[in-house]
Amino acid sequence: MRILYAAGICLLLSNAATPQTPETAHNPHQRLNFDAGWKFHLGDIPETSESAANVPAAATPAFNDKPWRSLDLPHDWTIEGEFSQNNSTGQQEGGLPAGIGWYRKTFKLPATAKDKVYIDFDGVYRNSTVFLNGQELGKRPNGYISFRYDLTPWLKKGADNVLAVRVDNAAQPNSRWYTGSGIYRHVWLEIQPAASVTIDQWGILASTASLSERQGRLHVATTLRAIQGAQAVTIQQTVYDAEGRQIATGSLPYTVNDTLSTVQQDLVLTGPKAWSPDRPYLYTLETRLMLGPKLIDRQSTRIGLRDFHFDNRQGFLLNDRHLKIKGVCLHHDLGALGAAVNTAGMRRQLLILKEMGCNAIRTSHNPPAPEFLDLCDEMGFLVMDEAFDMWQKKKNKFDYSLDFPQWHRRDLADQVRRDRNHPGVFIWSIGNEIREQFDKSGIELTKELTAIVRANDPTRPVTSAMTEPDTLENNIWQAGVLDVMGLNYHQQIYDEVLQKFPGHPFLATETTSAEETRGHYDMPSDSIRRWPTSAKVPAVGVNRDYTVSAYDNVSAYWGSTHEETWRLAKRNPVVAGLFVWTGFDYLGEPTPYRWPARSSYFGIVDLAGFPKDSYYLYQSEWSSKPVLHLFPHWNWRPGEMVDVWAYYSQASEVELFLNGKSLGVKRKEGDELHVQWRIPFEPGVLKAVSRLRGKTILEEEVHTAGAPARLQLIADRTTLHADGNDLAYVTIRILDANGYLVPNADTQVSVDITGEGTLAGMDNGYQADLESFRGTRHKAFNGLCLAIVRAKKKAGRITLRVSGAGLPPASLDITSL
């Protein structure tokens, strides 16, 4: 009685304030998370069922999966393995094991016989085959695509059902970077009444038709799917602002005649708030499908209003204002967590990049997880959403080129339809460094793929990340259908792009490929190394400890240092923007080294999420905050000549002091991006002071450190959600007795977690570290180590105790709510 009464009040109150907010209205269409309670077996189960020929035994309800491991998704079995040179993935994919795995989930649904039930997989790497109660529902080779099956025909209402998924990542190599293996993204169950008309999956396309400070016009195209013709429905569109207030609504009666029909509507918003990286304002669009007075389907779409265009002279304009695209490329792995999707992990990456002043991400070279795009919308990142790394011509023996002929149309259309309402997504890339650019077959394929994108999203430009700058030789460009010239590297031609690609906007779709190991410095800092030097001279074993200097003085021959490319892109308005390869180090592709190097050196931030020095170069150039970054560390041999660099911004000069004595004032001259001193080392304190018109802006010190004496723990967050997924990233710093970071400490640390949390992984950011990410012990590297703590589903306190050889233990409490 009391509950009913309370509910009634609640309804009355919310009715009075905002009739039918997204939260209060009944939704016949439910989307349930389906991640919990799976069973997993690593390896194949080759036996077929006794009762049904050709059906794998592990797919049948009768199969005994009790001995299998219990787990919740998302799950990546590859990251759980041990590094080995003998793993079939090889060094390019990170040297961890791949293979075949099976997943099963037993579930009951209430006996609502009229419902339609779908299962949605956000992504399975790769070659998945899905079965329900022994019936094969389908296969999907592409490891990055989202897909759905209709469970309804084989579903037993009110009884046990068994869903089984075989994942086959055995054929190796199939990638140029770490992929992970398994059901590494979320799974959802969608339940809706078996109505004769519904809103089609990914059936809504909401776009900004026009935008001014006074008024915005939202165009909504809704695709309806009917199983029986000639029905009179009404489509209601309502827009709510971020506070849940209804601000626009419109209704359209429509007679459905065909299986698929698309209904066009316009809504006018007064005084709209435009979406931008600086103010990522989001609205919610509610689409309701009515049959008479009855609500038969309903969908909620988060949208942003923004207006943009490319200009071949001015670059990129967002909401009528010039915006340089300051982007980075990202692969999808989360370092020690592998490919298993985690919103807290992705948010941390994006927060670190946001602080740097980055405003755009290229999801190289595949469709990302949906949650990644949600975060980009919320946090203000433009996204170049990329489809493929290869078409018909392979880059690896068992890669997607084998599936391309049969699947590319479906995969590309599904990607575009899934992602087209994200305000952050501003351009589609139909491929990265596709070999068909050198072959006439590239012309027809480019036309076909571009047409697929346009048919599903006529509102955004299409590009491809190409490498051939000679337009006559480049068959993708020759197709004549791309909106934007997308070129990887070749920064030396930025000054000529107007002549080379007349009439077309230009985007540096991939740049730089500088290589660095955090905290390692090779002198002299001002001599630039190309590792490798050329395609013919590989740079193997260049530093015996598999490090690369972090002075921004090393790059691959096809790329440049960070400064070399940014200097050229910065001064040239014709270059709409750039995507630096890469924001974070990723597993695999450890150019310039062979084994035991197993993760990349290209990141501005290392694999553990610790910024390298070049992070502050970008921060000084891209962000609006004053920056002063002084490096390297100050632990050298007495008398050794050391190059000291400072990145700075919002100041006109920097003065350097060693043990209180001035070593002179330096200013960036011309297009310089840092200042440098070359001085003999003497232990003590190095101090930099940045000034503007005589006023001190910032000061920074680096101290000579003594031996490791204690541990310092710093968590990025100390309050977590008790949802089984939320994460705290705890940085473990090795300090000397005076509290200064010991810059070369490789102390072995052990982590013990008690209470309502578990250890999700450990890392130190060193590219040739072969310790498992899953151990409770890990060596620090150059003074730092990382422990990732995962909240359990139960609220409470989490205590982390860290000990390090010979050092007093340290502890930290995290609250999980």
- Catalytic positions: 433, 510
Helices and strands: H and E segment counts in the chain: 9, 46
> To the nearest whole angstrom, how small is the minimum distance from the Cβ of residue 312 to ligand GAL?
24
Length of the chain: 817
Q: How far is the CB of 530 from ligand GAL (least distance, A)?
A: 12
Specify the residue, 99 or 559, whose C-beta has the smaller distance to ligand GAL.
559
556 contacts ligand GAL (rule: CB under 6 A): yes
Measured from the CB atom, the residue of 200 and 589 that comes closer to ligand GAL is: 589
x-marked contacts with ligand GAL along 598-617 as a string, rule CB under 6 A: --------------------
Scanning residues 218 to 277, which ones bind ligand GAL (CB under 6 A)? none
What's the CA gap between 607 and 86, in Å, rounded? 23
Is 93 among the residues that bind ligand GAL (CB under 6 A)?
A: no
What six digits make up the tokens of 345? 């992990």
- Closest approach of ligand GAL to the CB of residue 467, in Å: 7
Q: How far is CA 276 from CA 322, 377, 425, in A?
A: 12, 9, 11
Of the two residues 146 and 432, which places its CB atom closer to ligand GAL in the complex? 432
Contact set for ligand GAL, span 704-763 (CB under 6 A):
none
Gap between the Cα atoms of 563 and 420, Å rounded:
34
Site pattern 491..520 for ligand GAL (x: CB under 6 A): -------------------x--x-------
Four-point Cα dihedral 221, 195, 283, 11, nearest 10: 150
Taking the complex as a whole, how short is the minimal distance between the CB of residue 556 and ligand GAL, in angstroms? 5
Instruction: With residue 509 as reference, give the H or E element that holds it.
Output: strand 506-512
For ligand GAL, the closer CB: 364 or 446: 364
| Cβ closest to ligand GAL, residue 315 vs residue 592 | 592
User: Do 401 and 392 form a contact (C-beta atoms < 8 A)?
Assistant: yes
Q: How far is the CB of 435 from ligand GAL (least distance, A)?
A: 12
Smallest gap from Cβ 56 to ligand GAL, in A, equals: 35
Nearest approach, Cβ of 537 to ligand GAL (angstroms)? 16
Reference 549, options 588, 592, 513, 519; nearest CA is 519
Q: Please answer whether residues 385 and 145 qualify as being in contact, where contact means their C-beta atoms are separated by less than 8 angstroms.
A: no
Smallest distance from ligand GAL to CB 387, Å: 14
Smallest separation, CB 113 to ligand GAL (Å): 50
Question: What's the Cα-to-Cα distance from 692 to each of 319, 356, 582, 648, 696, rounded to whole Å?
Answer: 33, 22, 33, 11, 7
User: Among 55, 51, 39, 42, which residue's Cα sits nearest to residue 129?
Assistant: 55
| Cβ closest to ligand GAL, residue 466 vs residue 727 | 466
CA pair distance 279, 426, nearest whole angstrom: 16
- 384 makes contact with ligand GAL (CB under 6 A): no
Q: What part of residues 143-182 is at the interface with ligand GAL (CB under 6 A)? A: 176
Query: What part of residues 470-489 is at the interface with ligand GAL (CB under 6 A)?
Result: 488
Q: By C-beta, is 601 or 648 nearer to ligand GAL? A: 601
- ∠ Cα 29 33 39 (to 5°): 135
Cα distance from N-terminal residue to C-terminal residue, the chain: 30
780 is an interface residue for ligand GAL by CB under 6 A: no
Q: Which of 581, 616, 618, 740 binds ligand GAL (CB under 6 A)?
A: 581
Within 10 A of 115 (CB to CB), how many other CB atoms are there?
Answer: 18
Spatial distance between the Cα atoms of 495 and 363, rounded to a whole number of angstroms:
27
From 122, 297, 433, 613, residue interacting with ligand GAL (rule: CB under 6 A): 433
The owner of tokens 């491809």 is: 464
Which sign, positive or negative, has the C-alpha torsion 93, 44, 34, 124? positive
Closest to 369 in 3D by CA, of 398, 406, 341:
341
Q: Is 800 helix (H, G, I), strand (E, B) or coil?
A: strand
Per-residue mark of binding to ligand GAL, 557-576 (x: CB under 6 A) = --x-----------------
585 lies in the site for ligand GAL, by CB under 6 A = no
CB of 397 to ligand GAL, least distance (A): 17
The site for ligand GAL, by CB under 6 A, has a size of 10
Contacting residue, 127, 396, 432, 491, with ligand GAL by CB under 6 A: 432
Give the dihedral sign, CA 81/83/87/89: positive
Are 705 and 635 spatial neighbours (Cβ–Cβ below 8 Å)? yes
Token pair, residue 362, equals 């290229």
The phi-psi region of residue 496 (left if phi > 0; otherwise alpha if psi is between -120 and 50; otherwise beta) is alpha
Whichever of 29 and 530 has its CB closer to ligand GAL, that residue is 530
Asked if residue 582 has a cis previous peptide bond (ω within 30° of 0), the answer is yes
Give the residue with the Cβ less far from ligand GAL, 121 or 586: 586
Does 297 engage in binding with ligand GAL (CB under 6 A)? no
Q: Which is nearer to ligand GAL, 556 or 802 (CB)?
A: 556
Q: Which residue, judged by CB position, is nearest to ligand GAL in the bound state?
A: 513
Q: Is the dihedral of CA 754, 757, 758, 759 positive or negative?
A: negative
Chain residues that interact with ligand GAL, rule: CB under 6 A: 176, 432-433, 488, 510, 513, 556, 559, 581, 589
